[in-house]
Amino acid sequence: MDIRHPLDDRLPAMLRSGRTLRAIFNSLPSPAIVEMCAYAGFDFILIDNEHGSAGLDTTEHMLRAARASGIPPVVRCLRPDIARVLDMGASGVQIPMVQNAEEARDLVQQVRYPGIGRRGSAFSPRAAGYGAFPGAEHTRRSNEGIALIVMIETEEAAAQAAEIASVEGVDAVFIGPNDLSHSMGFGSDWKAPEVDRVIARALRDIAAAGTCAGIVGLTAEDEARYGAHGARFFATVASSVITRALREAAQPGTPTGGRPVY
């Protein structure tokens, strides 16, 4: 019998591929939305446990939904949750507010098993099939197949983008433009020229280090603008997409173009 491994290990290769990748943040505690994002054609999903309301039980169900529907799942989480979401079978973690290369190196240690890092080894959790896929092969698959994405969200961190991106074991560096803008005193205006210059320089530095550069990309114009500086990984936001669609549906007319939706 062909049993599907619970850990989807495609993501590091995708981030190294050089192609444009489109992901979506989902902060809503819903396995169904994870499946919908997969069927919509996103390359991977970012389960947002930094700003979302999902508990760990629901997060595990969202990871199951991702595996069942064929989309690699990353969990954006705080540092104390890294070990647990990886044991649940996340394909990667995205860690906010990484300030320098030293912090990035420490995160590599937390994400990788001994031989590379210091992640605690256990074969009973979901990532190892509850003991069905134990031992050295699970360690190898995890060390090679789990992605670490670090986030740059302050001007100080952006100035060290090249050093952060050069840390061995960091698979992608994602710029959080809204927090960056706030750190620079521009509030939510992350299109301000001063912020845009910092973003452009950081993206170029990340790309020059040979690491995948990511950023929020809400429109085709955003992708073109940041792609010109080396970004390859663009993320939109599920709640914003849903809210926009609901607003359109609430207007007079027939938003489905007369086609049945049931």
Q: Which of 51, 61, 138, 182 is catalytic?
A: 51
CB-based contacts of 172, cutoff 8 Å, min separation 6: 15, 147, 148, 149, 150, 211, 212, 213, 214, 233
Outline where 99-160 has alpha helix (H).
101-111, 135-145, 155-158
Q: Report whether 113 contacts 138 (CB < 8 A).
A: no
Q: Is 229 a catalytic residue?
A: no
Tokens representing 93?
């973690």
**CA separation, residue 168 to residues 53, 113, 209, 234, 240 (Å):** 32, 14, 11, 22, 34
Tokens representing 254?
């027939």
Instruction: Cite the active site residues.
Output: 51
